Protein backbone atom coordinates (compact mmCIF):
# COMPACT_ATOMS: atom_id res chain seq x y z
CA UNK A 1 0.00 0.00 0.00
CA UNK A 2 1.14 3.56 -0.68
CA UNK A 3 1.03 5.39 2.66
CA UNK A 4 2.29 8.79 1.50
CA UNK A 5 3.90 10.53 -1.44
CA UNK A 6 6.30 13.45 -1.57
CA UNK A 7 7.32 15.21 -4.72
CA UNK A 8 6.87 18.21 -6.97
CA UNK A 9 3.41 19.54 -7.75
CA UNK A 10 3.06 19.59 -11.53
CA UNK A 11 -0.64 20.34 -12.18
CA UNK A 12 -3.80 21.14 -10.24
CA UNK A 13 -7.44 20.55 -11.13
CA UNK A 14 -10.72 21.13 -9.34
CA UNK A 15 -10.40 17.91 -7.30
CA UNK A 16 -7.04 16.44 -8.29
CA UNK A 17 -3.35 17.16 -8.43
CA UNK A 18 -0.45 15.63 -10.35
CA UNK A 19 2.63 15.05 -8.21
CA UNK A 20 5.96 14.02 -9.76
CA UNK A 21 7.70 11.47 -7.54
CA UNK A 22 11.09 10.50 -8.93
CA UNK A 23 10.47 9.92 -12.62
CA UNK A 24 6.78 9.07 -12.21
CA UNK A 25 3.86 11.52 -12.21
CA UNK A 26 0.90 10.42 -10.08
CA UNK A 27 -2.62 11.80 -10.36
CA UNK A 28 -4.06 12.10 -6.85
CA UNK A 29 -7.70 12.93 -6.04
CA UNK A 30 -7.89 15.51 -3.23
CA UNK A 31 -10.51 17.45 -1.27
CA UNK A 32 -10.84 21.20 -1.73
CA UNK A 33 -9.25 21.83 1.68
CA UNK A 34 -6.20 19.75 0.77
CA UNK A 35 -6.02 21.38 -2.66
CA UNK A 36 -5.95 24.83 -1.05
CA UNK A 37 -2.89 23.80 1.01
CA UNK A 38 -0.81 22.44 -1.87
CA UNK A 39 0.70 25.66 -3.17
CA UNK A 40 1.66 26.39 -6.76
CA UNK A 41 3.05 24.10 -9.47
CA UNK A 42 6.75 23.57 -8.83
CA UNK A 43 6.34 23.47 -5.04
CA UNK A 44 7.30 20.38 -3.05
CA UNK A 45 4.26 18.67 -1.54
CA UNK A 46 3.64 15.74 0.81
CA UNK A 47 0.33 13.91 0.89
CA UNK A 48 -0.89 11.05 3.05
CA UNK A 49 -2.64 8.63 0.72
CA UNK A 50 -5.33 6.00 0.39
CA UNK A 51 -5.08 3.57 -2.52
CA UNK A 52 -8.53 2.49 -3.68
CA UNK A 53 -8.45 -0.71 -5.71
CA UNK A 54 -11.46 -2.01 -7.62
CA UNK A 55 -11.87 -4.55 -10.39
CA UNK A 56 -12.00 -1.92 -13.09
CA UNK A 57 -9.88 0.91 -11.68
CA UNK A 58 -7.15 1.97 -9.30
CA UNK A 59 -7.24 5.47 -7.79
CA UNK A 60 -5.03 7.32 -5.34
CA UNK A 61 -6.58 9.77 -2.85
CA UNK A 62 -4.40 12.30 -1.03
CA UNK A 63 -4.83 14.24 2.21
CA UNK A 64 -2.96 17.07 3.90
CA UNK A 65 -3.67 15.76 7.42
CA UNK A 66 -3.97 12.44 9.23
CA UNK A 67 -7.34 13.57 10.61
CA UNK A 68 -8.77 14.05 7.11
CA UNK A 69 -7.43 10.65 5.98
CA UNK A 70 -8.98 8.90 9.00
CA UNK A 71 -12.34 10.58 8.45
CA UNK A 72 -12.22 9.62 4.74
CA UNK A 73 -11.65 5.98 5.71
CA UNK A 74 -14.51 6.13 8.23
CA UNK A 75 -16.82 7.54 5.56
CA UNK A 76 -15.93 4.62 3.27
CA UNK A 77 -17.32 2.20 5.86
CA UNK A 78 -20.82 3.65 5.42
CA UNK A 79 -23.10 1.70 3.10
CA UNK A 80 -23.49 3.59 -0.17
CA UNK A 81 -20.48 5.89 0.30
CA UNK A 82 -17.69 5.43 -2.21
CA UNK A 83 -14.44 7.35 -2.42
CA UNK A 84 -15.84 10.07 -4.72
CA UNK A 85 -18.76 10.83 -2.38
CA UNK A 86 -16.47 10.70 0.68
CA UNK A 87 -14.16 13.23 -1.00
CA UNK A 88 -17.13 15.45 -1.90
CA UNK A 89 -18.30 15.34 1.73
CA UNK A 90 -14.84 16.33 2.97
CA UNK A 91 -14.76 19.13 0.40
CA UNK A 92 -18.08 20.45 1.67
CA UNK A 93 -17.15 20.72 5.35
CA UNK A 94 -13.96 20.76 7.42
CA UNK A 95 -13.13 17.66 9.46
CA UNK A 96 -13.97 18.94 12.93
CA UNK A 97 -17.31 20.40 11.88
CA UNK A 98 -18.19 17.21 9.98
CA UNK A 99 -17.27 15.02 12.96
CA UNK A 100 -19.27 17.27 15.31
CA UNK A 101 -22.28 17.24 12.99
CA UNK A 102 -22.26 13.45 12.73
CA UNK A 103 -21.65 12.89 16.45
CA UNK A 104 -24.41 15.30 17.43
CA UNK A 105 -26.86 13.85 14.88
CA UNK A 106 -27.28 17.09 12.93
CA UNK A 107 -28.98 15.48 9.90
CA UNK A 108 -30.20 18.81 8.49
CA UNK A 109 -26.68 20.23 8.23
CA UNK A 110 -25.29 16.99 6.77
CA UNK A 111 -28.07 16.87 4.16
CA UNK A 112 -26.75 20.15 2.73
CA UNK A 113 -23.46 18.52 1.69
CA UNK A 114 -22.97 17.76 -2.02
CA UNK A 115 -24.37 14.33 -2.93
CA UNK A 116 -25.91 13.82 0.52
CA UNK A 117 -29.67 13.89 1.03
CA UNK A 118 -31.70 13.31 4.19
CA UNK A 119 -31.52 9.55 3.81
CA UNK A 120 -27.72 9.46 3.40
CA UNK A 121 -27.28 12.02 6.20
CA UNK A 122 -29.28 9.78 8.53
CA UNK A 123 -27.20 6.80 7.48
CA UNK A 124 -23.97 8.72 8.21
CA UNK A 125 -25.20 9.50 11.72
CA UNK A 126 -26.43 5.95 12.43
CA UNK A 127 -23.34 4.19 11.10
CA UNK A 128 -20.61 6.60 12.24
CA UNK A 129 -21.73 8.05 15.56
CA UNK A 130 -20.40 5.14 17.65
CA UNK A 131 -17.23 4.87 15.55
CA UNK A 132 -16.50 8.56 16.02
CA UNK A 133 -17.02 8.22 19.75
CA UNK A 134 -14.62 5.26 19.88
CA UNK A 135 -11.93 6.51 17.50
CA UNK A 136 -12.10 10.28 18.02
CA UNK A 137 -12.74 10.37 21.75
CA UNK A 138 -16.43 11.22 21.67
CA UNK A 139 -16.36 14.51 19.76
CA UNK A 140 -19.55 16.25 20.66
CA UNK A 141 -21.51 13.06 21.27
CA UNK A 142 -23.04 14.47 24.43
CA UNK A 143 -24.36 17.56 22.63
CA UNK A 144 -27.90 17.66 21.37
CA UNK A 145 -30.39 20.13 19.93
CA UNK A 146 -29.37 23.78 20.13
CA UNK A 147 -26.10 22.95 21.89
CA UNK A 148 -25.02 20.87 18.90
CA UNK A 149 -26.00 23.67 16.52
CA UNK A 150 -24.07 26.24 18.57
CA UNK A 151 -21.02 23.93 18.70
CA UNK A 152 -21.21 23.35 14.94
CA UNK A 153 -21.38 27.12 14.38
CA UNK A 154 -18.31 27.68 16.58
CA UNK A 155 -16.37 24.96 14.78
CA UNK A 156 -17.40 26.59 11.50
CA UNK A 157 -15.88 29.84 12.79
CA UNK A 158 -12.55 28.09 13.34
CA UNK A 159 -12.67 26.94 16.96
CA UNK A 160 -11.68 23.40 17.82
CA UNK A 161 -14.25 20.82 18.86
CA UNK A 162 -12.91 20.91 22.42
CA UNK A 163 -13.16 24.71 22.61
CA UNK A 164 -16.70 24.63 21.18
CA UNK A 165 -17.75 21.95 23.68
CA UNK A 166 -16.39 23.99 26.61
CA UNK A 167 -18.15 27.13 25.35
CA UNK A 168 -21.58 25.47 25.05
CA UNK A 169 -21.30 23.62 28.35
CA UNK A 170 -23.77 25.26 30.70
CA UNK A 171 -25.44 27.50 28.12
CA UNK A 172 -28.92 28.54 29.24
CA UNK A 173 -31.52 26.11 27.90
CA UNK A 174 -34.03 28.92 27.58
CA UNK A 175 -36.35 28.65 24.59
CA UNK A 176 -36.49 32.46 24.61
CA UNK A 177 -32.93 32.69 23.29
CA UNK A 178 -32.39 32.37 19.55
CA UNK A 179 -29.55 30.33 18.07
CA UNK A 180 -27.71 33.55 17.21
CA UNK A 181 -27.95 34.76 20.82
CA UNK A 182 -26.62 31.44 22.10
CA UNK A 183 -23.70 31.64 19.65
CA UNK A 184 -22.99 35.19 20.84
CA UNK A 185 -22.99 34.06 24.50
CA UNK A 186 -20.67 31.15 23.63
CA UNK A 187 -18.31 33.52 21.79
CA UNK A 188 -18.25 35.79 24.84
CA UNK A 189 -17.29 32.77 26.99
CA UNK A 190 -14.45 31.97 24.61
CA UNK A 191 -13.22 35.57 24.64
CA UNK A 192 -13.42 36.00 28.41
**Which CATH number covers residue 41?**
2.40.50.140
Query: What's the chain's Rg over C-alpha atoms?
Result: 18
- The CA angle 110-115-121, to the nearest 5 degrees, is 30
DSSP state string for 146-179: HHHHHHHHHHHTT--HHHHHHHHTT----TTS-H
**Minimal CA–CA distance to 64: which of 39, 81, 40, 88?**
39
Structural domain contains residue 172: yes
Structural domain contains residue 75: yes
pTM above 0.75, yes or no: no
CA trace torsion 48, 53, 82, 134 (10° rounding): -60
Q: What is the per-residue pLDDT for 120?
A: 94
User: Could you list the residue range(s) of the whole structural domain that residue 85 is in?
Assistant: 66-135
Query: What is the block-wise mean pLDDT of the chain (192 residues), using blocks of 10 residues?
Result: 93 95 96 93 96 92 94 94 95 86 85 92 91 65 63 76 74 76 86 80
Give how many domains the chain has, as a whole number: 3
Q: Give φ, ψ of 95 to 5 degrees.
A: -55, -50
Amino acid sequence: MIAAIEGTLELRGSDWAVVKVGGISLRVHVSSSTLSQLGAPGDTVRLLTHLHWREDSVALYGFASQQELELFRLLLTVSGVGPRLALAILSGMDCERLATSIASGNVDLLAQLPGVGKKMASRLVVELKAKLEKEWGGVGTYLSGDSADVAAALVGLGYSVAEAARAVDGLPASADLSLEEKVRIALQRLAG
